[in-house]
Structure 1
């Protein structure tokens, strides 16, 4: 099973009070990631990852979305500004599992 996943996905903004922006990890990749055995850890089932979007690479976590059965990748404002992307844009993502 690969530990790096590459995909294109649309940036979308969470509809709640906070201004979080996410990329949804595709279903197939999410299923593969969820199937990897790992010890339970705090953080709502989050998994630490290294992400590359355009010319930017950073460390963060992906979070399981129980409604869709996928993982969500938060994309912070500083990265969006540096890469000149906003909600609605389709971005190329490389996601490397760190655990």
Structure 2
């Protein structure tokens, strides 16, 4: 399943800070339809993603009826992304 979305980069401050891109509700509803086929546990979904010229493998994590896409430093830094920025992501959920 291919999904393209534009979301805001958010920072989660836990024991280790992480950055995520929030999946908008419309795309999250589409992803939810295949989630049971793709999840590897706790509702997390494996996927391939691309931001600009940077391709990477990661997971979507369920959060409050939607999903968050983890953005590692190796992805954010080449794109100059930080909390509050909007980012367009092309994804393929691996079913």
- How far apart are 1:39 and its partner, in Å? 6.4
TM (norm. structure 2) is: 0.89
Detail structure 1 runs of 4+ shifted over 6 Å in the superposition: none
TM (norm. structure 1) is: 0.86
- How far apart are 1:15 and its partner, in Å? 2.9
- How far apart are 1:83 and its partner, in Å? 1.1
User: 5+ residue gaps in structure 1?
Assistant: none
CA distance in 2, matches of 1:84, 1:39: 31
Matched with 1:38 is 37
User: C-alpha deviations, 1:68-87, integer Å up to 9, x for none?
Assistant: 21011000011111111111
- 1:13-28 to structure 2, matched below 5 A, reads 13-28=11-26
- How far apart are 1:40 and its partner, in Å? 5.6
- How far apart are 1:28 and its partner, in Å? 1.2
- 1:1-99 to structure 2, matched below 5 A, reads 3-36=1-34, 37-38=36-37, 41-42=40-41, 44-65=42-63, 68-99=64-95
In proportion to residue count, which structure has more helix?
2
Tell me how many residue pairs correspond in the alignment: 94
RMSD of aligned C-alpha atoms? 1.5
In proportion to residue count, which structure has more strand?
2
User: 5+ residue gaps in structure 2?
Assistant: none
